A and B are shown apart, each in its own frame.
Chain A
Amino acid sequence: MAIRTTVTPMRVTISISGEIDHHNAAALRLEADEAIQSNLAPNVRIDFDEVTFMDSSGIGFVLGRYRIVSAYGGNVEVVNLSNKFYMMMKLAGLEKLMSLKTK
């Protein structure tokens, strides 16, 4: 699991690669929140292009970032989801809270 953050004035992009589970979600949160909270950009994009595995910890991760970003008035979008990850996020009703885009 690795995370890369890219910052522009309007957007923080969080690109995750590898596996997201309960074990590595803590480290993922730490890095993502550092980038989110030091920029407070209006848009936070979470890129799943290189995610090879996720369980419901991945849903928890997205929801947690959503809570932080919406608290300061920003919005979250999740991009490059596989069909399976998209289906899992819909199971959680995330499509009602943010934009979800498949590959």
Chain B
Amino acid sequence: MKALNSMKLEIESRSVNEAFARAAVAAFAAQADPTVEEISDIKTAVSEAVTNCIVHAYPDYVGKIYIWAGIFDNGIFRVKIKDKGCGIEDVDKAMVPLFTTLGGERAGLGFAVMESFCDRIKVRSKPNKGTVVTLEKALCGRSGADERN
């Protein structure tokens, strides 16, 4: 299926870019006429995935984060967040709520938050190669709500 419209963004894995990344994706999603709630869900999920690239994928150096977002028929919004960092040994285990490989104040809830705010999440990862997180959310939207319900 081809996206009706799409965008690409490449950023350095600096924590100051977390706010920029989620705002940019949200601004792109806005053309699909989402509700305030839906935009907020997208921002939260994107923030989790981008933060993971910064703290986990490239733990002690600055790497590149590749973001792709697309709007499909029926208000389906998809966003891919990719890194070429350390990768995840065991994806199923990483996605278990409260699981974290970093101490400090990581809550181990990034994937749980992405899952609860999106309709679908797919994680592909290879150790030492990198990780791609694909998030999908149906935007019922302000105008779409009455049409589609």
Contact = CB atoms under 8 A, between A and B. Distances in A.
B28 to A, nearest CB: 17
Contact-residue size bin, chain A (C-beta under 8 Å from the other chain): 20 to 34
A21 B105 contact: no
B18 interface: yes
Contacts of A61: 105
A29 B97 CA distance: 23
B96 interface: no
A80 interface: no
Interface in B71-120: 97-98, 104-107, 109-110, 112-113, 116
Interface of A: 19, 21-23, 25, 29, 53-57, 59-61, 63-64, 84, 87-88, 91-92
Interface of B: 15-16, 18-19, 22, 37, 40, 43-44, 47-48, 51, 54-55, 97-98, 104-107, 109-110, 112-113, 116
Per CB-CB distance, the 4 closest pairs between chain A and chain B, nearest first, are: A60-B105, A23-B15, A55-B47, A56-B109
